[in-house]
Amino acid sequence: MKKNSSSIVNKDPNSTEPNTSLIADIQSLFKAIVLISNVLPVFTGFWLALYFTESSLLGNWDLLLLTIIGSTLIMAGALLLNNWYDADIDAVMERTKNRPTVTGTISLKVVLWMGITISVLGLLLLLMTTIEAAIYALVGWVTYVVLYTMWSKRKYTLNTVIGSVSGAVTPLIGWAAIDSAFHIVPIILFLIIFIWQIPHTFAIAMKKSGEYKAAGVAMLPVVHGFAITKRQMVIYIACLFPLPFFILSLGNLFIIVATLLNSGWLALGITGFFTKDDFQWAHRMFLYSVNYLMILFVMMIVVTLF
């Protein structure tokens, strides 16, 4: 792995480059979009726990802050450690070659200690909510940092399935801050994100298959080709159909919206068997998947307001 100075920013003091470059480096280092996208499932889990336990948001605002900040910090720590460990393959891939861990603007030693420190701080904050919430966060952290980043990502195509666990625990963290997550609603939310993440990640892997191949990352489309990847994507999307019916307590409107979203995604997935442009199709699948999760989880909140 690449070594560099332990200073935070290796920059010419006489440079006239704007400070926005440092901000961009920090955003890239923390994978800001990924980090922000994980806040919604945490909040949804928290909100639904309040709803089903008939608790008030105002009466639990302190728990909400601890849960959101704590979970965000532990996820940020995991992402930092991912960047630290993957600096060598990030240097090969076009979409990651400008990360500060690759360019050297922020040293690997600093990133390592930032990742550890922020992870511990996030875990401590979650322990101030409930032990169960902290355990789910720790499971997600270990899965992402150890089982995905350090063990399976470069060796096995099952890396996507393994990594999906880390994202799927987010609603469990939110729910467990209020009440035990041994409840059908948070379990279904876990399953939705777990299954959703696989075709979502496969779409990215198809779009960037050339880069993953050059970096030696064992993504399914790189190892086994696009045809089997498309079949896997359709199968996983089909598995989403029954899940909303296990949470009928959210009402008919939610079931209708969820079924329409699933139907649209499945239809788009099937068109992949006939497309002449796999990369354009993969891009459409990626965009649909991002909007799918956002709409679905926002809808879960909306239907409880009426």
Residue with tokens 């993957």: 86
pTM of the model: 0.91
CA 158/CA 160 separation, integer angstroms: 5
CA 216/CA 95 separation, integer angstroms: 15
Largest CA distance in the chain: 63
pLDDT at 21: 73
CA torsion sign for 62, 173, 203, 218 is positive
pLDDT at 22: 66
pLDDT at 3: 39
CATH 3.30.420 fits 20-302, yes or no: no
Instruction: Give the domain ranges of the chain.
Output: 20-302
pLDDT at 20: 54
pLDDT at 1: 41
Backbone angles phi, psi at 128, to 5 degrees: -80, -5
For 273-285, the pLDDT digits (tens) are: 999 999 999 999 9
* Residue of 126, 129, 138 lying closest to 178 (CA atoms): 129
Tell me the angle at which helices 184-207 and 39-52 cross, rounded to the nearest 10 degrees.
Answer: 160
Residue 7: DSSP 8-state: S
pLDDT at 258: 98
**3-class SS of residue 8:** coil
Q: Which two structure tokens, joined as six digits, stand for 200?
A: 């979502």
Degrees, nearest 5: CA angle 161-146-2: 115
Instruction: In the chain, count H helices and then E strands.
Output: 16, 0
3-state helix, strand, coil in the chain (%, to 5): 75, 0, 25
For 67-109, the pLDDT digits (tens) are: 999 999 999 999 999 999 999 999 999 888 888 889 888 899 9
CA 120/CA 116 separation, integer angstroms: 6
Q: pLDDT (tens digit, 0 to 9) for every residue of the chain, 306 residues total?
A: 443 433 333 444 444 444 457 677 777 777 777 778 889 999 999 999 999 999 999 999 999 999 999 999 999 999 999 999 999 999 999 888 888 889 888 899 999 999 999 999 999 999 999 999 999 999 999 999 999 999 999 999 999 999 999 999 999 999 999 999 999 999 999 999 999 999 999 999 999 999 999 999 999 999 999 999 999 999 999 999 999 999 999 999 999 999 999 999 999 999 999 999 999 999 999 999 999 999 999 999 999 998
* Residue of 208, 133, 146 lying closest to 174 (CA atoms): 133
CA 49/CA 57 separation, integer angstroms: 10
